[in-house]
A and B are shown apart, each in its own frame.
Chain A
Amino acid sequence: MPSKTCVLCQKANAILKRPKTGQQICKECFFTVFETEVHNTITTAKLFKPGDRVAIGASGGKDSTVLAHVMKTLNDRYNYGLQLFLLSIDEGITGYRDDSLETVKRNQIQYDLPLKILSYDELYGWTMDAIVEQIGRKNNCTFCGVFRRQALDRGAAMLEVDHIVTGHNADDIAETVLMNIMRGDIARLGRCTLICTQGEDTIKRSKPFKYAYEKEIVMYAYFKKLDYFSTECIYSPDAYRGHARVFLKDLEAARPSAIIDIIHSGEAFEVAEDVKIKDQQTCQRCGYISSNELCKACALLEGLERGIAGMGIKERRRLEKAAPAPENLRTIPVFPRAPKSNEKLPA
Chain B
Amino acid sequence: MSTLTLKVEFGGGLELLFSNQRVHNVTIPSTMLASSKDWEATSNDPANVTYLLHWLKDNLLKEREELFLEGDTVRPGILVLINETDWELLGEGDYVLKDKDEIVMISTLHGG
A residues sitting closer than 8 Å to B (CB atoms) are: 1, 3-4, 13-17, 24, 59, 61-64, 167-169, 171-172, 214-215, 217-219, 222, 230-233, 245-246, 249-250, 252-253
Indicate if the CB atoms of B104 and A222 lie closer than 8 Å: yes
Closest to B15 in A: A230
Kindly supply a per-residue 1/0 record for chain B positions 59-100, scoring 1 wherever the CB is within 8 Å of any chain A CB and 0 otherwise. Answer: 000000000000000011101010011101111000100000
| Residues of B within 8 A of A (CB-CB), count | 25
Indicate if the CB atoms of B107 and A230 lie closer than 8 Å: yes
Indicate if the CB atoms of A218 and B108 lie closer than 8 Å: yes
Among B79, B91, B109, B110, the residue within 8 A (CB) of A219 is B79
Indicate if the CB atoms of A233 and B111 lie closer than 8 Å: yes
Indicate if the CB atoms of B108 and A215 lie closer than 8 Å: yes
B residues sitting closer than 8 Å to A (CB atoms) are: 11-13, 16, 75-77, 79, 81, 84-86, 88-91, 95, 104, 106-112
**4 extra interchain contacts, Cβ-Cβ under 8 A, other than A215-B108, A222-B106?**
A15-B85, A171-B108, A222-B79, A249-B75
Min CB gap B14→A, angstroms: 9
Closest 6 CB pairs of A and B: A63-B112, A249-B76, A17-B88, A230-B13, A249-B77, A253-B76
Min CB gap B80→A, angstroms: 11
Indicate if the CB atoms of B90 and A232 lie closer than 8 Å: no
Among A17, A61, A171, A253, the residue within 8 A (CB) of B111 is A61
Q: Given A215-B108, A252-B76, is A222 in contact with B81 using a C-beta cutoff of 8 Å? A: yes
In whole angstroms, what is the CA distance A172 to B109 when docked? 11
Indicate if the CB atoms of A3 and B85 lie closer than 8 Å: yes
Q: Given A1-B95, A215-B79, A219-B79, is A14 in contact with B89 using a C-beta cutoff of 8 Å? A: yes
Contacts of A233 in B (CB 8 A): 111
In whole angstroms, what is the CA distance A222 to B106 when docked? 9
In whole angstroms, what is the CA distance A207 to B48 when docked? 40
Indicate if the CB atoms of A231 and B89 lie closer than 8 Å: no
Indicate if the CB atoms of A62 and B112 lie closer than 8 Å: yes
Among B13, B84, B90, B106, the residue within 8 A (CB) of A231 is B13
In whole angstroms, what is the CA distance A59 to B95 when docked? 36
Contacts of B104 in A (CB 8 A): 222
Closest to B112 in A: A63
Indicate if the CB atoms of B13 and A1 lie closer than 8 Å: no
Contacts of A61 in B (CB 8 A): 110-112
In whole angstroms, what is the CA distance A97 to B86 when docked? 31
Interface core residue of B11, B76, B79, B95 (most chain A CB under 10 Å): B76
In whole angstroms, what is the CA distance A219 to B75 when docked? 17
Indicate if the CB atoms of A1 and B86 lie closer than 8 Å: no
Contacts of B85 in A (CB 8 A): 3, 13-16
Residue pairs across A and B with Cβ atoms less than 8 A apart, 18 shown, are A1-B90, A4-B89, A13-B85, A15-B85, A16-B89, A17-B86, A61-B112, A172-B112, A214-B108, A215-B79, A219-B79, A222-B11, A222-B79, A222-B104, A233-B111, A249-B76, A249-B109, A250-B76
